[in-house]
Amino acid sequence: MNTRRIAAIFLIVASVAAILLPFASATLLTIGLGGIVFVAGLNQLLRIGEIESNQGKIFKGLSGLLYLGGAVFILIDPIDSEISLTLFAGVLLLVEGLMELATGASANAPARGLVVVDGIVTAILGLLLVIEWPSDSLWALGTIFGVSLFLSALNLLKPTDAPPTAN
């Protein structure tokens, strides 16, 4: 069994868990994001010595402190952070969908219809998240994350153009 199939199996298991337990997966996703933001803040602060000007050091330090403050907020209260993150995701998906629609409308590519359909679905999903916010906050992110993992697993299972290798 090759690594693509093994990864796909793990992604399918994770996607089913995320879809069946959307609150838990959204909360874990939010906590993971908080950890990433914390590391980014530490990185900003550790790189202050690389900056030559005092003004640059001040801005780099403020940036690092902003990241750390955001991370602390996320990690102390992941549920409230999840609610804010759901609104952000809704707005992001809405804007992305509109950009996909504009791209599809202005392109003459063979997959133009798929780009337009993708834009419509993405914009509607984003609009639904924004309209239903904050009531959808405790399940939407986990469900969307689970569906995304599942689609990634399907992508890994599709045949590749590369010749098979001996395992």
**pLDDT per residue as tens digits for the range 61-93:** 999 999 999 999 999 999 888 888 888 888 998
Q: Is residue 65 part of a domain?
A: yes
Q: Where are the alpha helices (DSSP H) in 77-161?
A: 78-106, 112-132, 140-157
Q: Is residue 166 part of a domain?
A: no
What letter represents residue 112's amino acid?
Answer: R
The number of distinct structural domains making up the chain is 1
Q: Is 33 helix (H, G, I), strand (E, B) or coil?
A: helix
What residues make up the domain containing 8? 3-157
Percent of the chain with pLDDT over 70: 93
Q: Is residue 129 part of a domain?
A: yes
pTM score, whole prediction: 0.68
Angle, helices 78-106 vs 22-46, to 10°: value is 90
